[in-house]
């Protein structure tokens, strides 16, 4: 007996309904990316192992899938454990490699989007896979704040088109660096932001306690309390910041950048200045973004920011960049749970001709060919199976109309009896009438 | 100094222009697949190694990329060489695994298409990569010949839409089995078809000589000569076949199937009955297809056929299937060499606002937002760089119009000076006029 087929841990098949949902999301995202001047690229799944290792920290290195050595050399045990290739772990490091390697072919500023799977050997959980898509857009080669505005507009437009109400949180690394400077904790910026990030979850007292445990002094904790007490609109937050950061040059620069962005986004943009937002701080140098939906509990469904030094790991210095990503799996889950996917009826067969034997099938074929020539998704059930089986097939596939050729009176071969699968109403139509109905 | 970044042997980056070409081909193919009732699926890149090994012959097994074991066990040398996961080698075996594993979720007949990369550790050559896309459509769960007609129509429509003149070659395994029966070489069918397949290249005498060397007897060689002497239209070929295969039941069945297909395809279908066509014979059980273009030397750009036993390797018996694939890389090469790709100008920025400093940029932003709201691909050059740099950027990206706000007379802020990048003609337009022009 053959073995029951299975898949590796943390991987999955994607069936047609889920594929159509993902296509709907990605087509929306791609359309907006292109409207904003971003063009697609792809990089190979396999990179040189040396390109990837050392870029994601120790823990990241352990989670990289490596390719097993092949050939004669691999049989010697010393070479057996040294992989030459590995599967990409994200799209960012391969993109940095891509920009450096293809710099003479690309015009700068270079704006690209990239939608491809990545692989991570993490412990699988509900909604967390070992193979999943990332969907990134980045612009490199310019430090213009106009790009910050563009990425915010992209988020706003995509989620508007997907019918999701979201908040776009924004922060700036320079503000955080300013706090560290003013509070005298420049050398502990990362620790500090990790604490700050917990304000929502454990409250002001919780964070203060944790800071104390971590050995922050009272000046730093007082500073944190100043930040935590800020409330009100984005403008009011900015006013408070001007006081707190008055003595920090980098802090003032951060205020300037954030002010520019807040002033120039569209009036209806759901942008919130969130001073606790950090997201992989070591990486970002300016703006930091995160998108959350307030309609459902789901964590972040997008994020990004500005980085100034991405390509220097591959030898190209002083190339500022900024990028965002969309969390495809989570966005799909949110729209599913809110039942906001459109009907994909137009993606499926619009009219299915039932098959009652060869003669009817060949007569149907003429109709089907004529309808397909008009761009209509017409099909014949391939076998002359029982009526019940054919109707179940039509129903499961979400077919809109079925055509019942054998029910036609003789001498009426230029007209067709169709049934609306939803209303069960039957109609007798000419080809022209049918085309008009289905288009 | 950082190392010069490179890619693993046989892999490649795909830059925007090539991506747009591929999108154009794949969008065409997907649109036709969907019109014919096929829906998308995806399977993971990583399959269990046991799913893949033993399915592609000894040589194939050697070419499968395997994933290196991780964790503690992998440190023991016995486990080190035993991969649990491997990268898919084609889309066919994963599809068979998919059908069996998801059989309760799928309605049969099940029609799917799948466009994903596969990996093979072959020696890279010009146009042959270790990572490349396959683009397959299959229908499983019906042996109706209507599906043969559908796949032929799909090939015809896709290549028509891509503007390529092609020939669709068709053959049938049952005809070849009939020859073997009549010539008394049932046990050497594969050897025989390998010889037959060389008729085009080495001619009738060459094949006869090779058959002799391979130990075929005179009866078989005479049989081959009978086949080689067949010429004329498809109908004439069928008539000759009726004589040769009169005594073979399976041969007569093959004639019946081919006759049905030839009779019922559209009149303008470039279908050629080619008795030498075999393509991985062990796999196919009925119709065999291959598409070639006569406009350029390029080998086959598509192929497929009917198989009766694909899912039985995973325990699901008696499921007939039929499928075709498109050779994405070769189709792209053909259209490139014939310069038949459309201009992708509409995919790129339609109008680029030049940047002459913050004041102009913010003024431009209002225009850009208004144009984007109308669905137009408008953009601002992010930095106030030199004019020459901005014009080069516009030119390299194939931008259609540039907008030169600073050249506008004062008091005319409701009108815009634009320049056609091709004709260099300048115009002075209102927003409404501009939208009308660019839509």
Angstrom distance (rounded) from CA B367 to CA B369: 5
Within 8 A by CB and 6+ apart from A315, the residues are A100, B1, B2, B3, B4, B5
CATH number at residue A365: 3.40.50.800
Q: Closest to B314 (Cβ–Cβ): which among A2, A84, A157?
A: A2
* Smallest Cα distance from B299 to chain A, Å: 25
The secondary structure of B101-170 as a DSSP string is HTTTTS-SSEEEEEEEEEE--PPPBTTB-SEEEEEEEEEES---THHHHHHHHHHHHHHHHTT--EEEEE
The answer to the question of residue A235 being in a domain is: no
| A362 lies within 8 A of chain B by CB | yes
Contact of B168 with B326, CB cutoff 8 Å: no
Q: Closest to B2 (Cβ–Cβ): which among A37, A83, A313?
A: A313
The answer to the question of residue B51 being in a domain is: no
The answer to the question of residue B383 being in a domain is: yes
A-interface mutation test, from B9, B13, B369, B378, most A Cβ less than 10 A away: B13
More confident residue, A76 or A287: A287
- pLDDT beyond 80 at B301: yes
Contact of B356 with B383, CB cutoff 8 Å: no
The DSSP bridge pattern shows strands A166-172 and A287-293 to be antiparallel
Angstrom distance (rounded) from CA B427 to CA B434: 10
- pLDDT beyond 70 at A407: no
Q: Provide, as residue numbers in chain B, all residues whose Cβ is less than 8 Å from the Cβ of A66.
A: 67-68
Q: Which of these ranges, B96-105, B220-229, B405-414, has the smallest mean pLDDT?
A: B405-414
More confident residue, A46 or B201: A46
pLDDT for position B383: 96
pLDDT for position B336: 95
pLDDT for position B219: 95
pLDDT for position A283: 81
Category of B113 on φ-ψ map: left (φ > 0), alpha (ψ -120 to 50) or beta: beta
Q: Provide, as residue numbers in chain A, all residues whose Cβ is less than 8 Å from the Cβ of B152.
A: none
* Smallest Cα distance from B321 to chain A, Å: 12
Return residues 116-135 of A near B (CB < 8 Å).
117, 119, 121, 130-131
Q: Over the stretch A329-371, which tens digit does the pLDDT of each residue have?
A: 999 999 999 999 998 766 789 999 999 998 889 999 999 999 9
More confident residue, A210 or B4: A210
3-state secondary structure of A326: strand
Within 8 A by CB and 6+ apart from A16, the residues are B39, B40, B41, B112
Q: Closest to A46 (Cβ–Cβ): which among B11, B146, B153?
A: B11
Contact of A107 with B12, CB cutoff 8 Å: no
The DSSP bridge pattern shows strands A415-420 and A426-430 to be antiparallel
Q: Closest to A43 (Cβ–Cβ): which among B13, B67, B144?
A: B13
At A402, the pLDDT band (50, 70, 90 cuts) reads: very high
Alpha-carbon torsion angle B44, B50, B54, B59, nearest 10:
70
pLDDT for position A72: 63
Within 8 A by CB and 6+ apart from A301, the residues are A166, A291, A292, A293, A326, A327, A330, A331, A334
Angstrom distance (rounded) from CA A232 to CA A236: 6
Q: Over the stretch A117-172, which tens digit does the pLDDT of each residue have?
A: 999 999 999 888 999 999 999 999 999 999 999 999 999 999 999 999 999 999 99
pLDDT for position B21: 96
Alpha carbon distance, N-terminus to C-terminus of chain A:
49
- pLDDT beyond 80 at B81: no
| Average pLDDT estimate for A412-435 | 92
Return residues 178-237 of A near B (CB < 8 Å).
none
pLDDT for position A347: 76
Q: Closest to A101 (Cβ–Cβ): which among B5, B121, B131?
A: B5
Angstrom distance (rounded) from CA A408 to CA A353: 13
Which residues make beta-bridge pairs with A419? A402, A426
B-interface mutation test, from A18, A22, A46, most B Cβ less than 10 A away: A46
| Average pLDDT estimate for A179-188 | 96
| B14 lies within 8 A of chain A by CB | yes
Return residues 310-339 of A near B (CB < 8 Å).
312-315
pLDDT for position A346: 64
Q: Identify the CA nearest to A428 among candidates A439, A409, A438.
A: A409
The answer to the question of residue B430 being in a domain is: yes
Domain that holds residue A363: 348-438
HSE of B363, CA atoms in CB hemisphere, 13 A: 19
- pLDDT beyond 60 at B79: no
Return residues 30-49 of B near A (CB < 8 Å).
34-37, 39-48
The answer to the question of residue A218 being in a domain is: no
At A13, the pLDDT band (50, 70, 90 cuts) reads: very high
Q: A19 vs B42: CB contact, 8 Å cut-off?
A: yes
Contact of A258 with A250, CB cutoff 8 Å: no
| A269 lies within 8 A of chain B by CB | no
pLDDT for position A408: 62
pLDDT for position B314: 93
The answer to the question of residue B251 being in a domain is: no
The answer to the question of residue B53 being in a domain is: no
Most confident range (mean pLDDT) of A406-410, B75-79, B235-239 is: B235-239
More confident residue, A341 or A309: A341
Q: A5 vs B107: CB contact, 8 Å cut-off?
A: no
- pLDDT beyond 60 at B60: yes
Angstrom distance (rounded) from CA B381 to CA B392: 11
- pLDDT beyond 70 at B324: yes
3-state secondary structure of B68: coil
| B77 lies within 8 A of chain A by CB | yes
| A345 lies within 8 A of chain B by CB | no
Alpha carbon distance, N-terminus to C-terminus of chain B:
49
Angstrom distance (rounded) from CA A134 to CA A116: 6
| Average pLDDT estimate for A409-436 | 89
Give the DSSP H/E element, type plus range, for residue A222: helix A218-228
Number of CB pairs, chain A paired with chain B, less than 8 A apart: 247
Q: Over the stretch A73-110, which tens digit does the pLDDT of each residue have?
A: 566 655 556 899 999 999 999 999 999 999 999 989 99
The answer to the question of residue A264 being in a domain is: no
3-state secondary structure of A272: strand
* Smallest Cα distance from B397 to chain A, Å: 8
Within 8 A by CB and 6+ apart from B267, the residues are none
Query: ipTM, 2 decimals?
Result: 0.94
Angstrom distance (rounded) from CA B315 to CA B302: 29
Strands of the sheet with B378-380, listed across from one edge: B378-380, B351-353, B401-403, B415-420, B426-430
Give the DSSP H/E element, type plus range, for residue A402: strand A401-403
Mean pLDDT computed over every residue of chain B: 93
* Smallest Cα distance from B110 to chain A, Å: 10
Mean pLDDT computed over every residue of chain A: 93
Q: Identify the CA nearest to B333 among candidates B128, B89, B113.
A: B128
* Smallest Cα distance from B391 to chain A, Å: 12
Percent of chain B with pLDDT over 90: 84
Count of the separate structural domains present in chain A: 1
| A299 lies within 8 A of chain B by CB | no
The DSSP bridge pattern shows strands A39-40 and A110-119 to be parallel
Contact of A119 with A131, CB cutoff 8 Å: yes
Q: Provide, as residue numbers in chain A, all residues whose Cβ is less than 8 Å from the Cβ of B81.
A: 68, 80
At B57, the pLDDT band (50, 70, 90 cuts) reads: confident
Contact of A250 with A178, CB cutoff 8 Å: yes
Percent of chain A with pLDDT over 70: 95
- C-alpha dist (Å) from residue A239 to A140, A223, A266, B47: 32, 16, 21, 56
Q: Provide, as residue numbers in chain B, all residues whose Cβ is less than 8 Å from the Cβ of A97.
A: 5
Q: A41 vs B16: CB contact, 8 Å cut-off?
A: yes
pLDDT for position A409: 61
Q: Over the stretch B90-148, which tens digit does the pLDDT of each residue have?
A: 999 999 999 999 999 998 999 999 999 999 999 998 888 999 999 999 999 999 999 99
The secondary structure of A149-183 as a DSSP string is HHHHHHHHHHHHHTT--EEEEEEEHHHHHHHHHHT
Alpha-carbon torsion angle B277, B279, B284, B290, nearest 10:
-70
* Smallest Cα distance from B313 to chain A, Å: 7
Return residues 272-291 of A near B (CB < 8 Å).
none
At A50, the pLDDT band (50, 70, 90 cuts) reads: very high
């Amino acid at each position: 007996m053959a073995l029951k087929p299975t898949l590796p841990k943390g991987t999955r098949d994607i069936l047609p309904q889920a594929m159509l949902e993902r296509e709907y999301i990605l087509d929306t995202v791609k359309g907006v990316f292109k409207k904003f001047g971003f063009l697609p690229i792809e990089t190979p799944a396999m990179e040189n192992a040396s390109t990837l290792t050392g870029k994601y920290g120790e823990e990241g290195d352990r989670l990289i899938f490596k390719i097993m050595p092949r050939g004669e050399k691999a049989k010697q045990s010393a070479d057996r454990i040294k992989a030459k290739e590995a599967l990409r772990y994200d799209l960012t490091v391969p993109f940095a490699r891509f920009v450096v390697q293809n710099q003479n072919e690309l015009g700068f500023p270079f704006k690209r989007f990239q939608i491809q799977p990545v692989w991570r050997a993490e412990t699988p959980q509900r909604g967390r896979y070992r193979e999943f898509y990332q969907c990134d857009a980045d612009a490199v080669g310019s430090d213009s704040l106009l790009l910050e505005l563009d990425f915010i507009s992209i988020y706003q437009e995509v989620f508007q088109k997907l019918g999701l109400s979201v908040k776009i949180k924004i922060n700036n690394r320079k503000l955080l660096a300013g706090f560290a400077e003013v509070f005298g904790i420049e050398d502990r910026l990362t620790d500090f932001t990790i604490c700050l990030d917990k304000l929502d979850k454990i409250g002001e007292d919780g964070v203060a306690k944790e800071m104390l445990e971590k050995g922050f002094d009272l000046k730093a904790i007082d500073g944190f309390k100043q930040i935590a007490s800020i409330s009100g609109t984005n403008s009011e937050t900015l006013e408070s910041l001007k006081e707190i950061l008055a003595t920090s040059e980098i802090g003032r620069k951060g205020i300037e950048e954030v002010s520019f962005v807040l002033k120039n986004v569209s009036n209806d943009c759901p942008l919130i200045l969130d001073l606790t937002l950090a997201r992989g701080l070591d990486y970002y140098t300016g703006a930091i973004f995160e998108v959350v939906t307030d309609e459902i509990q789901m964590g972040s469904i997008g994020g990004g920011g500005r980085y100034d030094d991405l390509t220097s790991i591959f030898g190209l210095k002083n190339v500022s960049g900024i990028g965002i990503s969309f969390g495809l799996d989570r966005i799909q889950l949110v729209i599913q749970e809110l039942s906001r996917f459109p009907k994909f009826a137009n993606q499926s067969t619009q009219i299915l001709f039932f098959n009652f034997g060869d003669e009817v099938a060949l007569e149907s074929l003429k109709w089907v060919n004529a309808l397909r020539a008009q761009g209509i998704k017409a099909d014949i059930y391939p076998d002359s199976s029982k009526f019940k089986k054919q109707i179940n097939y039509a129903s499961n596939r979400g077919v809109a109309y079925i055509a019942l050729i054998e029910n036609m009176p003789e001498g009426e071969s230029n007209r067709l009896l169709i049934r609306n699968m939803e209303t069960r109403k039957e109609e007798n139509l000419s080809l022209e009438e049918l085309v008009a109905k289905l288009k």
